Copies of this chain bind each other. A is one copy, B any other.
Amino acid sequence: MSKQPKYEQVADALRREIDNGTYGPGSRLPSEAELATRFDASRNTVRAGLKLLVSQGLVTSSQGLGYEVSKHEVFELNASRFENLTFPQNGDAFSTDVTNAGRHPHQTFRVELTTTPEYVATRLKVETGSRSVLRFCHRFVDNVPWSTQATHYPDWLLAEAPRLAEPGDIAEGTTRYLASVDIEQIGYRDEISTRMPTPEEARLLEVGAGVPVMLWTRTGYSHDRPIRCTITTLRGDLNRMNYEIGDLSGRDGDESE
């Protein structure tokens, strides 16, 4: 019956104990040495089992401290609400949302002129190799890295909206600014995918092994062509995206009664 490798048995036993609350979120697991004794296994074998749990995002490890059971607080992103169509995800909206949730927002901001990456060029319908303005944002909540956001604007747009290329925030928000020069975003297309972070992403978002990232690409359209492409990279363990479509009058029945 012991066809299952020993390190998997270790992982399964610990997973069960995490699930049933023996080790709650935030609590520390016994040390590798203790587990080795308990399971009558070598330290290497126990480490293999723990590595499994780490790669599944259940626990994290830190040198000198031990293994800690992960806790996930999920932040909800309402991606389809009308506010987001008119004022999509500008820095102000982020700060407001986070503050409303009783948390402390923080972000760093940077503007560059770059050659358009192919992924973005396809979506903006501009030539690969053409230039675009990149407005990049690195966001934190309570000093925990939360997401990065890179918005590209095609260079033809600069003739009409030169302030996009200026460094620093646009106080009224980019969408409102664009509307003020008669460029209105009247629709968008979202693409959502997930994968493990690249080393660069792992560094920016400070995620360890076992935490995937969610990639959210929003391409915004004016009446006749794409005007922006925003790529948001979110920590998968901290975010959930919501879309509400159609008539949801029956949604909050228990609250409205």
User: Which residues of A approach B to under 8 Å, CB–CB?
Assistant: 12, 15, 51, 55-57, 74, 79-80, 85, 125, 185-199, 209-214, 221-226, 236-237, 239-251, 253-254
Contact = CB atoms under 8 A, between A and B. Distances in A.
A189 B243 contact: yes
Contact of A85 (B188, B224, B245, B250): B245
How many copies of this chain does the complex contain?
2
Contacts of A237: 195
Contacts of A196: 55-57, 210-212
B55 A187 contact: no
Nearest to A187: B246
B125 A253 contact: yes
Contacts of A125: 253-254
Contact of A251 (B56, B74, B189): B189
A37 to B, nearest CB: 23
Given A80-B245, A223-B247, A250-B221, A192 B189 contact: no
